[in-house]
Structure 1
Amino acid sequence: MSSAFLLTTLAVVATPGTGVLYTLSAGLSHGRRASVVAALACTLGVLPHLLATVTGLAALLRTSPVAYDVVKYAGVGYLLYMAWATLRDKDALAVETGDEPRPTSQVIASGILVNLLNPKLTMFFVAFLPQFVPADEPGSLQAMLRLSAVFMALTFAVFAAYGMCAASVRDHVLARPKVMTGLRRVFAVGFLGLGARLAVA
């Protein structure tokens, strides 16, 4: 495994995007456990893109503008929904002090959707991985799966680190409602901006 692959993958994973924003929100809102679950969910959201790449569905997205646009605008719609829900619902970004954490299934479902409805991730697998996989040689599929596993491991590690950092400052904003209101607006604008960027990409 080349250092170029590791460095490029780390740069891609660490660049703030929808998954990072969601994990930060989970960690800040619901604590360390939720941040780790959110990181895991975003990582699981990579699997459908990997499956699409391996089975050739990614080629359809690449060659069919209609299919690509359907997935892309579904992702845009979901990001806009998250922006609206975060801004409208005070519980969407609220520090919890009770004993009942946010349901794990809800955190996982939202995290998977964040990455599932992102066709850019499939395009990443199509454009990036083949550069490090020997073409038309025995073991190319195994090599792609190994590199994808590394990509997912780095995704989980980086996202979990983001989430844990966010969770560590929960106590500092616990007694500051205005701070939480401001953060809700920042996250809403972040989701809105990412949706707009995906729409015009």
Structure 2
Amino acid sequence: MDVSLAGILGAGLLVMASPGPATLAIAAASMQDGRRNGLALAAGVTTGSVTWSLLAAAGLGVVMASHAWAFTLVRYLGAGYLLYLAIRSARTALQRQTPADTPDEWTAPTSPAASYRRGLMIHLTNPKAVLFFGALYSLGLPAGAGLSELAVIVAALGALAGLIFCGYAILFAAPPVARGYARLKRAFSAVFAVLFGGAAIRILISRAPAG
């Protein structure tokens, strides 16, 4: 195939593995709720990544790049959800003591299904994801590429996303990391609150693509 698969996967690796809202949420879930929930959240992020990849292949990236209102709508949804996560983390950081019989909502037991939905929501409300995949396809696919070429790229990027995000979940759920979180729970929560809030602000001040 006349497709730059290595180039596409290389660019995908750099972007997916770099720190961002998704990797931050995976780290938080893995340390706070354990490997199972971390992997579930990573699966949600991967599903969101594949969804955006499919939509970009279908041309939505071009639509969002040329219609500022669509980009802005998704941007506000994403920023709002990240601010919600920031507030939850801040509440835990400010809470000096959590009674055993009334756990706060962030540290209360979380089901894998809820973790999966959280990961999916984080990635589906990131408007830059579809633009990123659209750029990958425009750079790595030849003119007139068929469905078979698109299917290979979507599958390869999906597998790469799963490996990266699940790898992060396993890393941050490692016993030494989990024990460190247990000792420094409030400090970690404060850091998560700042980082989630910062990510939300960056999304809010980002400009819509010119078009």
Q: Shorter-normalised TM-score: what interval? A: 0.7 to 0.9
Q: Does 1:30 align with 2:33?
A: yes
1:127 aligns to what? 135
Distance 1:92 1:105 in 2: 16
Q: Which residue matches 1:161?
A: 167
1:149 and 2:155 are equivalent in the alignment: yes
Partner of 1:45: 48
Counterpart in the other structure of 1:68: 71
Q: Distance between the aligned counterparts of 1:7 and 1:84, measured in 2?
A: 35
Deviations 1:58-79 (A, max 9, x none): 3221111111111111111111
The TM-score, its normalising length taken from structure 1, stands at 0.87
**Displacement after TM superposition at 1:146 (Å):** 1.5
Structure 2 CA distance, aligned partners of 1:24 and 1:92?
18
Query: Offset of 1:47 from its aligned partner?
Result: 3.1
Equivalent residue in structure 2 for 1:8, among 11, 15, 19: 11
Contact preservation (8 Å) 1:39, 1:160: yes
Matching of residue 102 in structure 1 with residue 124 in structure 2: no
Matched position secondary structure for 1:45: helix
Q: Where in structure 1 are there 5+ consecutive unaligned residues?
A: none
**1:93/1:151 CA distance change after superposition, 3 Å:** same
Alignment correspondent of 2:100? none
2:188 is the alignment partner of 1:180: no
1:37–1:108 CA contact under 8 A, matched in 2: yes
User: RMSD in angstroms over aligned alpha carbons?
Assistant: 1.9
Per-residue deviation, 1:93: 5.2
Give, in angstroms, the shift of residue 92 of structure 1.
5.4
Q: Would the aligned equivalents of 1:93 and 1:184 in 2 still touch at CA under 8 Å?
A: no
CA distance in 2, matches of 1:71, 1:60: 13
Asked whether the equivalents of residues 86 and 92 of structure 1 are also in contact (C-alpha less than 8 Å), the reply is: no
Q: For residues 10-64 of structure 1, what are the alpha-carbon distances to aligned partners after superposition, in whole Å with 9 as ceiling and x for unaligned?
A: 1111101111011101100111111111111100012331232233333221111
Structure 2 stretches lacking a partner, 5+ long: 96-103, 207-211
Q: C-alpha separation between the residues in 1 aligned to 2:40 and 2:50?
A: 16
Number of equivalent positions = 191
Report percent identity of matched pairs: 30
Contact between 2:49 and 2:161, CA under 8 Å: does it hold in 1? no
Q: How big is each residue's C-alpha offset from its partner over 1:132-181, in whole Å with a ceiling of 9 and x where there is no partner?
A: 112114x2x3212211222221112111221212111213443x2xx100
What's the TM-score once normalised by structure 2's chain length? 0.83
Give the match for residue 204 of structure 2: 199
**Change in CA separation of 1:48 and 1:2 when aligned onto 2, cut-off 3 Å:** closer
